Structure 1
Amino acid sequence: MGVRFAYHLSLFTFIALYANAQEKNLVPYVKPIIGTEKMGHTYPGATVPFGMVQLSPETDTIPYEENGHYNPDVYKYCAGYQYADKTITGFSHTHLSGTGHSDLGDFLIMPTTGKLMLNPGTAAHPESGYRSTFSHDNEVAEADYYKVKLDKYNITAELTASNRVGFHQYTFAEATDQAHIVLDLMAGIYNYGNKDVWTFVRVENDTLITGYRQTNGWARTRVEYFAMSFSKPFYQYGHQTYANDVYRGFWRKFDINHNFPEMAGRQVRAWFDFKATAGEKIKIKFALSPVSTEGALKNLRSEIPGWDFEKVKADGQAQWNKELHKINAQLNSEDEMVNFYTAMYHAFISPTTYMDVDGGYRGLDQNNHKAEGFTNYTTFSLWDTYRALHPLFNIIQPKRNADMIQSMVAHYDQSVQHMLPVWSHYANENWCMIGYHSVSVIADAVVKGNAPFDAGKALEACVTTARHRSYDGLGYYIDKGYVPEDKSGASVSKTLEYAYDDWCIAQMAKKLNRQDIYDEFIKRSKNYSNVYDAASGYMRPRLDNGTFRKEFDPLKTDNQGFIEGNAWNYSLYVPQYPAEMIELRGGKKSFSKHLDSLFTMHLPDEFFAETEDITRDGIIGNYVHGNEPSHHAAYLYNWTGEPWKTQERVRMILKKMYRPSSDGLGGNDDCGQMSAWYIFTSLGFYPVCPGSDQYILGSPAVKEATLTLENGKTFTIEAPGQSDKNVYVQKVTLNGQPVTTNSITHADIMNGGKLVFYMGAKPKK
């Protein structure tokens, strides 16, 4: 009897502990402030997973041009916020996360008191405008929650969000008859003289405002509609227009600047006045729509019908907790737990939802469309994210990744060039960076069996894109087998990346039994060798006449035939044929020495002077972690017979490039790519070649991690004895059986099971 009672008690305890483990709140491990200093370019504000609204503070407004010249400070403010700044100009509703280019920052709201001021002022003289000083001591940044005290006004600002609605809560510490809400429709990130094309605002009643803003920035023609609802009526309002906006006809019959219900112009700032009691909270719900003000109103009423700020915050954080639990990990320290779950947070911000609750969205053709059977997404930083972010999604976000691919195919359908996206956001193609890496994302999903869409049509879109002779040197590449540097810049990078993408098309064609397409593109995938110069031992730019360019420095980046890298980096970029690349470059021993030098060499000072978008913080030797072409490099030792070097390198990179601090990212997060690298590497494997079903083994930084898969199965990684000293893998087993290669397959993961790394302090040679 006693034994049976003990058994039931222990079983009950086990069930309770298991339930508690399942319900553990992982949100406290997320620190959105990570990466907000220097070059991380992340934002600290409120957003839900893949949310359409990113409600976050702006710490400065930097014009694109200054005295007629490019202003380099624009690069600092890609996310609108820099941790080192002392002032806040307001809170806007759209942001890019971790990019190397800037845009968005729409619909900036700033609560103020006292004399009404309608310009932001300057950081040096915040008293000259509506901006306020603040202290990080009074700042809180969590998943889907941001809080700060605006010292100038003694106002506490709190932000949270649903998918399509930003929720503001402003607590006025002191009673005042001069409480203002400034709505700055001129403010924006990457804001140069003609960014604002047109703005329209309509006062529907004393608590509801609607309107839209059309801009010409990085995205050439972007329109965002909004609906803005106040928790209490304002007693007066007005606006001011700038840039010589001229009203004609009936406009002159009214005082249009005060209490007139329609505001329009190229540059508009509006204000709404309230009387606030001490401690009163004035709340604002601000909904976005890519389609119409009616769509924005539907989004607002559907997602946040009431005024319970704490409920919206709790709901948003519950969404984050659910997504974070897709990987339940244990690491060696609290700091590493923060790094891991903040990486998951950053990986789950982009791409972003781009459709109303009824499926309506604006297409690339600038017409309105309905997403039928999928969620439409935007913000595709594909040159970055094809490498690790989308492969990560194929494991733990397969449904979303499939929807993202359907969004890409819809983009293709709406494209007058009949091309898949290159770098697109908000119904615009920015044509940023090189390659056509949508095909990598699509092929990776098809090869791995995550293709609940018309794969044949997707293949057609890939092939049509890759045959587009007028695109970025592609005609030369098709005819000659390489891009000539004297015809199209960054020619070596383009040649190498086109060859990789072509290999991806071949793999997809093989999967879909299209031998004709396979034959065409597997041949094209060999073009990488056409830019290899055996005399120098590097990938090197060739000219239209077939000769290699004489002027060549493998360490320099500018005008050397490469983009965001140099010959030293890009001579490692043949992910589809690593073994062939190694043989081409002198064999395993020679290649290993070159790879060693990547991490150990000392770069000359002029390297940093000519490369404005990186700092010494993001560099290890000549390995630039903030620039994606090197992200696979440390894993290449697996092809030289020296996997222990991969193991020590990746653990070193984890330590040096990721920290739980505001300057804790050694480069732009690039819409989650750097974070996805961290997640994969911490788990102990990495997709060196997306489009293949292989993951290459490294050295896990987790003690244990369980992946909860959408197919209902789980995949567990264990690393007994793993520590900062024990970074070397002694042996690996999968479901109890020895792993005799340096890789596992996608099926190994999706079938569920257990991968165990046995770790030690000395290399296992």
Structure 2
Amino acid sequence: MYNCQNNKDIEIKSTEIVDLKDYAKFVDPMIGTAKMGHTYPGATVPFGSVQLSPDTDTIPYAINGRYNPDVYKYCAGYQYEDRTIVGFSHTHFSGTGHSDLGDFLIMPTTGNLKLNPGTAENPDNGYRSRFSHDSEQASPGYYSVHLDDYDIKAEMTATTRVGMHQYTFSKDEKAHVILDLMSGIYNYDDKNVWTFIRVENDTLVTGYRQTNGWARTRRVYFAMSFNKPIANYGRARYDKQPYNGFWGRFDQAHNFPEIAGEKIKMYFDFDIKNQEKLQIKFALSPVSSSGAVANMKKEVPNWNFEQVHENARMAWNKELNKIQLKSKDTEEKTNFYTAMYHAFLGPTEYMDVDSKYMGLDLNTHKAENFTNYTSFSLWDTYRALHPLFNILQPKRNSDMVSSMIVHQEQSVHSMLPIWSHYANENWCMIGYHSVSVIADAIVKGNTNFDAEAAFDACVQTARTRYFDGIGYYIDMGYVPEDKNGASVSKTLEYAYDDWAIAQAAKKLGKEFIYKEFIERSKNYKNVFDAKSGFMRPKLSDGTFKENFDPKDTHGQGFIEGNSWNYSLYVPHDPKDMIKMMGGNKRFTTHLDSLFTMELPDKYFEHTEDISREGIIGNYVHGNEPSHHVAYLYNWTDAPWKSQDKIRMILDQKYKTGADGLSGNDDFGQMSAWYIFSSLGFYPVAPGSVDYALGSPSITDATLNLDNGNTFEISTKNQSKKNVYVEKVELNGEILERPFITHEAIMSGGNLTFYMSDKPNLRQYQTE
């Protein structure tokens, strides 16, 4: 069992913000619910295990044996353009480009009982209902909508582990509550491995669902309690029933208290009067149904819906007040605090109130002295989200590292998480970016975890030869394209991760390991083709791949980007990258061209998640490999060129409204980019103590830090037109370099930007 050690460099305090403001009123959970934002509008609390949200469709993964392209639209279960709701499920990812979850869908109905969802084209054939956005309300910790087909007002709120429903019926007739254990996001025929339900008494139901989806061995337990006794209950009948042996002697379709099978849909009937409210408490557990019951008793001991809602809103305001923005611009506040909301949705807590959780080895463990987290979308979030946590959520980020350590200890591969959720590793995307998160925490002194164990896990992961081309990378200095796809992206991202390990080694005094990994971090040089001036796929015989198109994303050795984007991915050594690409002038011209060139339609044919909404020229803000790019001018003799680009991205790619995000929010990474950039600085290379300065869009903001300090950011002459920075002062002293350190922020003080409508061509002294 892992024991947390208090090996920290900075003290983490639990501080209360005295002047707590209601910033929750500016949050709009609807932002990102249209197009490809893939956010959900439902009720949850910060980093909560329950995400109780409407699903507007349940899309089969395949139709007639062929991939269904509409699956990608419903990664969060909800699309703003839809006009029917299937029901309300309890687990959702925020802003991902893939999904799972959508567990335990509940739908209240009246009239004739229907146990299939029907279709959006013909909702009358099923239990789904029409709805209007005019009747929807979404705010932190609360969601409500009117179900038009049943004249029911549906409301929901949540605690960390419990979703609470409240349904107000408008008719004196028998009401039904459908519990669909077959429904889910990213659905296909054999996703449900097994489901089980026990009707414990006339108000309590327990059970579990085991699925083989993106996570192949995921089991979630539940406890569901009603505030009224069940009048009648039953399950859907299917023509082909599984063989039940001696269980076949019972009529399991009506009022039978124990049901098991792959395909279960239950209904519960209630005698409801006009305007009466039916309430449901639905608790989740990763360990057991008794754990779910305990979670429910602890977090929602009564039936006071409004109190649960008020507590959820208070929890959100506590987190949102970590940055207090002074602005008269309501749209700016909406974008900013919605970004903070999205950034604090995950990773999510993954343990019961007694600290027990399901481990990667499928055994029950107990988190000792840390909170266990899950859902690590690390290829996305190592870039800005976890660095943001090191400033605003240091205790949580430290606990997330502890969660990664136990993941590595429980893994038969002895590897840190790649993309993990619900005691499963799904191996999605490339790199081993847990090491970036860990190194960033170590270098910045946020080590309320066993730093030695974490560092050893980083080294072990980077030496796992059979994982995704690492053996080739170690032996040859690059991943050969003819042996392992997306080879250039992997080589570049491995090189960055190795640099991050080297920085942690230096901090911990591991000189031998430092030398090994700082040398490995230079492997980016091995896939640079000086002739073309681009990063280019190399074959196992040492030659570069022929028929190379640096604009194409398909079959060119890259993933979620092209060579134009990835040729700029050396965040740990921009100076050498600039030199390698021809020096300041040529590099600056290359960057300029990235933002102004036009891509023909043919380059959008092979990938569904890169849309024109996320692109400026060939700069792809909707995909993460470009997120640091606008800041690279800071390493040239034209740092001012970063400033108008950053403000352009902020202005064009983040808006209010359901379609306000220009791509997947990717579990908060897009939002973290917005928060950092609007404040005026960004972590180009996590693992470094430096943040690159940009052009803040805010006027004044105060960061309330957990160590008790405050860091104030202010601007002079701020306006939409004044996008350039005349000078920057830290605590009254002019900064000579376009960077600020982590220590300067955490020590508290004031950072002042003097804005102008003209660039200061001699603003910073560059080497």
| TM-score category (smaller protein) | over 0.9
Shift of 1:745: 0.2
Q: Does 1:712 align with 2:700?
A: no
Q: 1:124 aligns with which of 117, 121, 137?
A: 121
Shift of 1:273: 0.2
Residue in 2 aligned with 1:736? 732
Residue in 2 aligned with 1:163? 160
Shift of 1:641: 1.7
**Partner Cα distance (2:80, 2:236) in 1:** 31
**Partner Cα distance (1:358, 1:611) in 2:** 44
Residue in 1 aligned with 2:104? 107
Residue in 2 aligned with 1:81? 78
Shift of 1:242: 4.4
Q: 1:579 aligns with which of 575, 578, 592?
A: 575
Q: 1:194 aligns with which of 190, 203, 207?
A: 190
Residue in 2 aligned with 1:95? 92
Q: 2:482 aligns with which of 480, 486, 490?
A: 486
Structure 2 residue matching 1:493: 3-state secondary structure: helix
Shift of 1:454: 1.1
Q: Is the 8 A contact 1:243 1:266 kept in 2?
A: no
Which amino acid is 1:34 matched to? I
Residues 650 and 148 of structure 1: CA distance in aligned 2, closer, same or farther (over 3 Å): same
Q: How does 1:206-221 map to 2 (within 5 A)?
A: 206-221=202-217
**Partner Cα distance (1:221, 1:723) in 2:** 53
Deviations 1:691-750 (A, max 9, x none): 000000000111001000010000000011111001111111111111111100000001
Percent pairwise identity? 67
Structure 2 residue matching 1:191: 3-state secondary structure: coil
Q: 1:71 aligns with which of 60, 68, 71?
A: 68
Deviations 1:545-604 (A, max 9, x none): 000001210000011000000000000000000010000000010001110111111100
Which amino acid is 1:367 matched to? N
Q: 1:22 aligns with which of 12, 19, 23?
A: 19
Which amino acid is 1:280 matched to? E
Which amino acid is 2:80 matched to? Y
- What TM-score, normalized to structure 1? 0.97
Which amino acid is 1:198 matched to? W
Q: Is the 8 A contact 1:145 1:160 kept in 2?
A: yes
Which amino acid is 1:588 matched to? N
**Partner Cα distance (2:267, 2:532) in 1:** 64
**Partner Cα distance (1:660, 1:47) in 2:** 21
Residue in 1 aligned with 2:652? 656
Q: Is the 8 A contact 1:346 1:675 kept in 2?
A: yes
Which amino acid is 2:34 matched to? E
Q: Does 1:454 align with 2:450?
A: yes
Q: Does 1:500 align with 2:501?
A: no
Q: Does 1:672 align with 2:668?
A: yes
Shift of 1:21: 8.9
Q: How does 1:55-66 map to 2 (within 5 A)?
A: 55-66=52-63
Q: Is the 8 A contact 1:41 1:79 kept in 2?
A: yes
Shift of 1:225: 0.2
Q: Is the 8 A contact 1:506 1:519 kept in 2?
A: yes
Q: Is the 8 A contact 1:331 1:701 kept in 2?
A: no
- What TM-score, normalized to structure 2? 0.96
Which stretch shifts more, 238-247 or 645-654?
238-247
Residues 407 and 20 of structure 1: CA distance in aligned 2, closer, same or farther (over 3 Å): closer
Residue in 1 aligned with 2:631? 635
Which amino acid is 1:434 matched to? I
Residue in 2 aligned with 1:185? 181
Shift of 1:252: 2.0
Residue in 2 aligned with 1:269? 265
Which stretch shifts more, 248-257 or 688-697?
248-257
Residue in 1 aligned with 2:223? 227
Structure 2 residue matching 1:702: 3-state secondary structure: coil
Deviations 1:99-128 (A, max 9, x none): 000110000000000000000000000000
Q: Does 1:557 align with 2:561?
A: no
**Partner Cα distance (1:446, 1:242) in 2:** 56
**Partner Cα distance (1:499, 1:738) in 2:** 35
Q: Does 1:535 align with 2:535?
A: no
**Partner Cα distance (1:316, 1:457) in 2:** 35
**Partner Cα distance (1:634, 1:305) in 2:** 50
Residue in 2 aligned with 1:48? 45
Shift of 1:331: 3.8
Q: Is the 8 A contact 2:17 2:704 kept in 1?
A: no
**Partner Cα distance (2:414, 2:537) in 1:** 29
Shift of 1:133: 0.4
Residues 332 and 533 of structure 1: CA distance in aligned 2, closer, same or farther (over 3 Å): farther
**Partner Cα distance (2:191, 2:717) in 1:** 56
**Partner Cα distance (2:696, 2:620) in 1:** 22
Structure 1 residue matching 2:424: 3-state secondary structure: coil
Structure 2 residue matching 1:22: 3-state secondary structure: coil
**Partner Cα distance (1:82, 1:192) in 2:** 20
Structure 2 residue matching 1:43: 3-state secondary structure: coil
Which stretch shifts more, 674-683 or 329-338?
329-338
Deviations 1:635-676 (A, max 9, x none): 001111212111100000001110111000000000000000
Q: 1:152 aligns with which of 149, 154, 174?
A: 149
Q: Is the 8 A contact 1:714 1:753 kept in 2?
A: yes
Q: How does 1:272-311 map to 2 (within 5 A)?
A: 272-311=268-307
Q: Is the 8 A contact 1:332 1:723 kept in 2?
A: no
Shift of 1:330: 2.3
Residues 241 and 583 of structure 1: CA distance in aligned 2, closer, same or farther (over 3 Å): farther
Q: Does 1:139 align with 2:132?
A: no
Which amino acid is 1:120 matched to? P
**Partner Cα distance (1:24, 1:301) in 2:** 30
Residue in 2 aligned with 1:345? 341
Q: Is the 8 A contact 2:321 2:704 kept in 1?
A: yes
**Partner Cα distance (1:543, 1:575) in 2:** 24
**Partner Cα distance (1:463, 1:30) in 2:** 41
Deviations 1:220-272 (A, max 9, x none): 01000000000100110001254834243331222111000001110100000
Structure 1 residue matching 2:675: 3-state secondary structure: helix
Structure 2 residue matching 1:369: 3-state secondary structure: strand
Structure 2 residue matching 1:643: 3-state secondary structure: coil
Residue in 2 aligned with 1:5? none
Shift of 1:24: 2.1
**Partner Cα distance (1:194, 1:581) in 2:** 48
Which amino acid is 1:478 matched to? I
Q: Is the 8 A contact 1:56 1:93 kept in 2?
A: yes
**Partner Cα distance (2:517, 2:295) in 1:** 45
Which amino acid is 2:318 matched to? K
Gaps of 5+ in 2: 1-15, 762-767
Q: Is the 8 A contact 1:387 1:687 kept in 2?
A: yes
**Partner Cα distance (2:77, 2:508) in 1:** 44
Structure 2 residue matching 1:272: 3-state secondary structure: strand
Shift of 1:613: 1.3
**Partner Cα distance (2:271, 2:289) in 1:** 28
**Partner Cα distance (1:54, 1:729) in 2:** 41
Which amino acid is 2:460 matched to? T
Q: Is the 8 A contact 2:723 2:756 kept in 1?
A: yes
**Partner Cα distance (2:520, 2:372) in 1:** 32
The ranges of structure 1 where at least 4 consecutive aligned residues each deviate by more than 4 angstroms after the TM superposition are: none
Residues 481 and 675 of structure 1: CA distance in aligned 2, closer, same or farther (over 3 Å): same
Deviations 1:478-527 (A, max 9, x none): 00000000000000000000000000000000000000100000000000
